[in-house]
Amino acid sequence: MEATMELPATDDEGYLVDPGAWSEELAVELAQRENIELGDAHWDAIHFMREFYQEHQVIPDVRFVARHLAARFGAASRNMIFELFPYGYVKQACKIAGMKRPRGWSTG
């Protein structure tokens, strides 16, 4: 059986308590737990989210990430975020990118 890494502190839903504890290695582990194999587009979205968070101290709205991906990969990829993270922006993308659970966001 494959050994899994020990996670930093998470809340009861698996979101990091401290986004500063995030690393790319941790992102790979979290993605594996969500049955997602991270490709270039995933990393592009994750790095955009991390940079946005660092700059603004808030989690980017899914629309910002969708626009970023469309700018990088073409307008046809407008819904790419939902293809990359099929169970939702909040449930998968935010968790894998090491964000705290967004307050007041129930879907995504």
The CATH class given to the 19-96 domain equals mainly alpha
Is the entire prediction scored with pTM above 0.85? yes
Q: Hey, where are the domains in the chain?
A: 19-96
- Which pair of structure tokens corresponds to residue 34? 């969500």
**pLDDT tens by residue, 21-62:** 999 999 999 999 999 999 999 999 999 999 999 999 889 999
Which residues have C-beta within 8 Å of that of residue 22, sequence separation ≥ 6? 16, 50, 97, 98
